Structure 1
Amino acid sequence: MRKKFTKKVKARLPWLEHVSESPAIGELIPISHENLKLRAGKNLCLLCRGSKLLCGRPTCPILMKAKVFSEKLNLLESERIEGSSPPAVFVGRIGYPYVRAGPLIPQELGDTSLYDRPEAWFGMSLESILEFRLGLVRGTFPVDVRRPEKAGRLMEGTLEMALSEISVDSETKFKKKPKKIFLLDDEIQPMGPLAPLEDMKIYSIRSDSRMEKAFEDTDLKAQTAVVELYRNGVEVSRIQRAFSVGAFGLKTQRRLVPTRWSITAVDDILGVWLRERYVKDKPFLDEYRVYLLEAYGNKWALIMIPGPWRYESIEAWYPGTTWNPDGESIAFIADYEEHWGRKGYASMGGCYYAARLAVLEKLNEEGRQATVLVLREIHRDSLLPLGVWLVRESVRAALKRRPEKFQDLKDALRLVSSFLNIPLKYWRGISVTLRDISRRQHLEPYLS
């Protein structure tokens, strides 16, 4: 029997619902033990991923272990820093709606855009990514997400940074020396030391005219702004950054959105738009395709099957990996949607929406629709959580490769089986898509 991972969320964020057609958007909220019901056996880590503390501990022991990397970094010895923000900003979620937000600034002047541009990271070494990400100092100040203007000049400066198209020179004064606290998370990019912000002066601002137009239009819904910026060539990560500081939406509905939630919200908005507007009414793919990729301790197998749009993503976490640290067996988690989409928030979190966006981009590019199955193995050499960007960019990279093409699903699955370490029978046992196709093929002789 297929293992089920279920959750029920009572608390909602109704103000988020205007930005997406997906009703799941209102469920992006920290979950407590009181409003969560699930059946997950020993795989709490897989569902939690350090965000919900389902184990009952005050902090995530897995993410604490990852902080050993902090030993390699030089800490600031002063309450002042001069540096060029990539630009990059961060909005926290702890204590929502009263959170801490602020800019991310390295101890370096000049063009630092690469520090916060996930679209350019794929293919870089893990050490390189961590080196510049953990070198970003998080300056934070308290803010009410519903009334960000009350945070004054610090919020104004953070907003200006988020809209800039070039690195922003700054002089920053902290209330005390940055703490040796580093953020390593499966949803967002790694971030470096933390310090409460006292004052900030910024220079060399050059706002992106496309962003500025969306920001100034207070009659434009946030969802429409996200789509228009994407259509005009603005990178997804830049849209997510501006979305998090409440730069889009109707005047009375603008809010800060915690970085974790803004990443998934934008991926979902764009995915739904591509699916409904450009993919679902296109001709079926006329062949079976397999795309394979191995990178960062992950193995990816993407299978495109002729037929109506349908999407399923399955992850297999090996024992000793980030979200299956103490397991004795491989832990699977899966989510899928039918042709009409899905109603609830995917239990596997932002990875589901990030991979779906990359898949829909490819189908839109080719003017086709297909049933798509994304299989991912996470092996022990996948050392640290790097963020959802890794999923989006890995799937994009896989889909840029030349696929293997087949006229029969069995041949396609035979190739997948030879590439992945886990025997095909286990994937079959979990996949709703493969089970339904098998059932349909079994019934076809009788129906004809």
Structure 2
Amino acid sequence: MLSSCPICIATASRSGFCPLHTSASSFFSSNRISNKQEFSGPSPAPFIGRFGYPCVNVGFLSVPYPIKDAELYDAPRHWANEGYTIPQIINLRSFLLHSRKKSSVYHPERFVSLIQEVGTASKPFEIEISLKNRPVFKTTFFKYASPVGPQAEFQLARATENPVVHRHVDKVVCDGDLPAKEAIHYLYQMGHGEGEISKVLSVGAIGIQKQRRLVPTRYSITATDDQIGGYLLSSVKDFQEDDYEAFFGGYLGNYFLVLFFSQPWSFELFEIYLPKDHKTNNTISYTTDFESFYNRKTYARETVGGYYACRLAVLEHLFKKRRQAGALVLRFITEDYTSPLGVFVVREASRRALLGLQKWSFSSKEELILFGEGFCQRELKVPIEILLKSSKLISQRTIGEY
């Protein structure tokens, strides 16, 4: 967790002004808010911490005033589709008040029932909150989740309107004999997105009744990506092998070159960090993880949550085409990605790349590799020959090559 804004470090330290936080900071420091400890507004999402596990901070994110369309404060896919910028996302999220209390993930306190209602509701509903202390403006950044605004312990919280729960969600919540894995698959089949599903998982509302527990937001996001990906993969492995293709695109300073090889399923992700001087410095800093046709047996420790987010986007693409392939993905993290916004950036940037706005087809493995090397050198000024030589996906031989 990062406690301060990277932009503030770069600008406010010199000028005392951060262009990202002007409106949110002004709101929380204004006379009508700064002395308040009671707020009323809609809550678009729960937030379950991980530090001190199994006794963690459990709470919800709420807009501290009545507003329509509160769901837009926690809508990564909408942000990507509408082209929200980093400053827009940070400013939006900085308005979210993070009210919380300590609770065991295994034996939740009574107040957790309200947070579970927030996590399972189909749209935000109004909540009244009484805080222990008045909130002080501060934006907290995370590597895996989107940033949040002021954090404060609450004394009391109650719903002032009835939450609405979708019938699909209600079905899996009420079924105490349905494993969490199957509940996730069902909700995805019924058209519910990964963001909605991860909230339901996070508040411990699905799974075998005796095994239900709160899941830290960080872990619920990755678990949802992994489970949906596994569900798609079970079908993708039975599809015909795809052609040799390349896709390129990105979002928020993260660019993805996706190379599809005509072979059975395998997946490899390289995350490449591009400093300001990368055009004159040939040293490449990267992390990588790989899985063969027979899947991973351990967690992707190098590329962590981004691995599963990117893998989901790739599997969605192949599932839609009814094809399988070996997917080699190169993620380029540029200096334009100034603030960590969560793994949704990886998921949405990958999806954007696979829309096919920049797409190429090839007749052989060699042509595809040569294209990738030339494209990265020409467009990004990054020599990837050495990197590709270390690729497990490229080095593995298929039955057709023997």
TM-score range, shorter chain: 0.7 to 0.9
| SS of equivalent to 1:307 | coil
From 306, 328, 339, the equivalent of 2:293 is 339
User: Which residue identity does 1:435 align to in structure 2?
Assistant: S
Q: Deviations over 1:268-301 (max 9, x none)?
A: 111112112x11111111x211110133112210
Q: Percent identity?
A: 31
Residues of 2 paired with 1:370 and 1:168: CA distance?
43
Counterpart of 1:155? 112
**Does 2:331 match 1:376?**
yes
Counterpart of 1:32? none
| SS of equivalent to 1:350 | helix
Q: Deviations over 1:201-257 (max 9, x none)?
A: 212411111111111111111111011000000111010011101010111100000
From 151, 154, 175, the equivalent of 2:132 is 175
Query: Could you tell me the TM-score, scaled by structure 2's length?
Result: 0.87
Counterpart of 2:39? 81
Residues of 2 paired with 1:66 and 1:328: CA distance?
26
Matches within 5 A, 1:7-18: none
From 351, 375, 378, the equivalent of 1:396 is 351
**Does 2:93 match 1:133?**
yes
Residues of 1 paired with 2:382 and 2:305: CA distance?
24
From 239, 257, 270, the equivalent of 2:197 is 239
Residues of 1 paired with 2:210 and 2:10: CA distance?
41
Query: Could you tell me the TM-score, scaled by structure 1's length?
Result: 0.79
Counterpart of 2:381? 421
Matches within 5 A, 1:290-305: 290-305=246-261
What is the deviation of 1:142? 0.9
Structure 2: 5+ residue stretches without partners: 13-17
Structure 1: 5+ residue stretches without partners: 1-49, 52-58
Matches within 5 A, 1:39-78: 65=9, 72=22, 73-74=25-26, 75=28, 76-77=33-34, 78=36
CA RMSD of superposed structures (Å): 2.6
| SS of equivalent to 1:121 | helix
Say if 2:4 and 2:141, in contact at 8 Å, map to a contact too. no
Counterpart of 1:284? 241
Say if 2:256 and 2:329, in contact at 8 Å, map to a contact too. yes
Say if 2:255 and 2:349, in contact at 8 Å, map to a contact too. no
| SS of equivalent to 1:299 | strand
**Does 2:395 match 1:435?**
yes
Q: Which runs of 4+ in 1 moved over 6 A?
A: 59-64
Say if 1:91 and 1:99, in contact at 8 Å, map to a contact too. yes
Residues of 2 paired with 1:64 and 1:95: CA distance?
29
Residues of 1 paired with 2:10 and 2:239: CA distance?
45
**C-alpha spacing 1:241/1:66, structure 2 compared with 1 (3 Å):** farther
Counterpart of 1:55? none
Counterpart of 1:201? 158
**Does 2:62 match 1:105?**
yes
What is the deviation of 1:328? 10
Say if 1:63 and 1:185, in contact at 8 Å, map to a contact too. no
User: Which residue identity does 1:331 align to in structure 2?
Assistant: S
Say if 1:67 and 1:182, in contact at 8 Å, map to a contact too. no
| SS of equivalent to 1:400 | coil
Residues of 2 paired with 1:115 and 1:241: CA distance?
14
Residues of 2 paired with 1:96 and 1:157: CA distance?
21
